[in-house]
Structure 1
């Protein structure tokens, strides 16, 4: 069971997120906070597996709270799709960045990814974020050449598509998509789909 502390200054949002997460068979909300300071205190006391923090909260905001609870992985969730928030959250060590309209499936995926030490960023901001980091120097070369299908998966991952959307686009099953992504991570020596997408931009397979 993945134990979660969540923080949002709006009670209706806080309650709704709690209900969504508690409805997941493998996730349990063990604490809820109305601001960043309370979130930090709860996290230090309850020692959850993952935190879910809103960015804009009174006093200690979600970015600062993310820094203060390290090394507990944090998924940041916000209404505001702003580059400065994305960069600030990732610099603070966040393991995920979601918009509040991302949907219940993506929310669960982000919590599970963070618990596993992975990272998940909302597809709606992935393309723009990766475009900003496209030029980081010489890209890594794959251990083994990519197959034609893996090349297709790389491009769709870079476009910010979810596994379900990739499966529909390429007319394959979701489990097959996951297999290809696991193979890509091994060949490229990366830890998650965000880094796969980064590599696609670095090698010119995708464009901002």
Structure 2
């Protein structure tokens, strides 16, 4: 769908099984749903953490979870903002617009065995944003949380990208500069830039935690 000026695109009516992607929304993906009865009642059916799956025409997919659901004025187009990543699904009728906001899921890690269970590494990996700055690179913004009982040290060797079961590829750039120590409970924001792999998916690895990202 094409958005005209600052308004909302006209979404076809009575299309129950189709979400219409709004052209130009490539960071915060925006989709419109037909104003059917079921769609207008999604606010009573969805809760935070429910899955949102985007199945693209090229057979790739993106996975998100519901972050929040709100009702706004019918002509409020603020949810088209592209300053941060995510997914937004909206249903508009004459009186209001139902807006569903989605975010990347938090990846729960398993313990990485060490010499003893007391020294095992426990981390949470949250994908905040995924972008393609140019034709040659891809970028992740993430939060890494130390949920273990001991401090851990993150180095360049602990971060890699794997594409199509190929060899691991090191990041071109990591911010902040490694190494970084995380004490128990610490949250470390990271920006990771990798060379863009061939294909439509790649696996990000930090320690032994992995997350598969699909892209176009």
TM-score, with normalisation over the residues of structure 2?
Answer: 0.31
Find the structure with the greater CA-based Rg: 2
